Structure 1
């Protein structure tokens, strides 16, 4: 079971704090506990999945939280910390899901996925690039739908997400030039 599935099983976003993970687990565990639902195999299997998801996220929290406990108080360095193996795994699973979402034109899901990942990995250049491309794709789709105001908003978000990407900037600026929004 990967981290993305764990968050989905608990009904949480990728950027959820660990307190929210605990609260979601407790709420769902109370609903599906075998003592409450005697003889209900479906509730029992759901309880097992919920417990496994919580344990995986708790282990991830323990591993990432343990590094923070043992750090000596030193001045902050400008380099961001290297993402853990679990964060890297989550990143690439999210990338695969992003590809599927963009191919199926599920832009809302793709944007939510990238915003959650950008919140989780704020210093990752690849994530910023993917986020910019996602906004660009949605903005282009909105242009095709003649929704110029929304398109302009998402094209600008693409520039803000990845401001150092020259090709993205050229593409966005070219699209923004085609938008004619009358003055009100």
Structure 2
């Protein structure tokens, strides 16, 4: 059985607690996201050192390695989106099919050590970028192809739910 693509619109996490992982973006100040990102990044190397890191718990759930490769790519993608929002007026974000990326990039065949190093590097880079957001830029906007509009504030709070949720998915959540 193949992984069923996730087609949900997760923007609701900006309004209330996630019932699956317990994270509440609505109560998370955007100014806290950089440190939350660093704390998240610090947990992934242990996940990627597991002997069963590439084993799927069942046929329709990603392995911890696949989740980690996805989180690495989320760090990279949101860094690009944040930079666009800070450089352009109301940019439109390129669409991203996370499931196609997982297949095309062969997430589950990647070396855990390489994924770990790249995830840490990408996570620390976006955390530094968030720390460097000028005080007058938090209300700048950007939008996805589905019409969802974000401010820098809401984008950062939306972003941090993803890696937090995926630590929960791999049994490493708080």
The alignment's TM-score, normalised by the length of structure 1, stands at: 0.30
TM-score by length of 2: 0.31
Q: Which has the larger radius of gyration?
A: 1
Does 1 or 2 have the higher relative contact order (CA < 8 Å, sep 6+)?
A: 2
More helix by share: 1
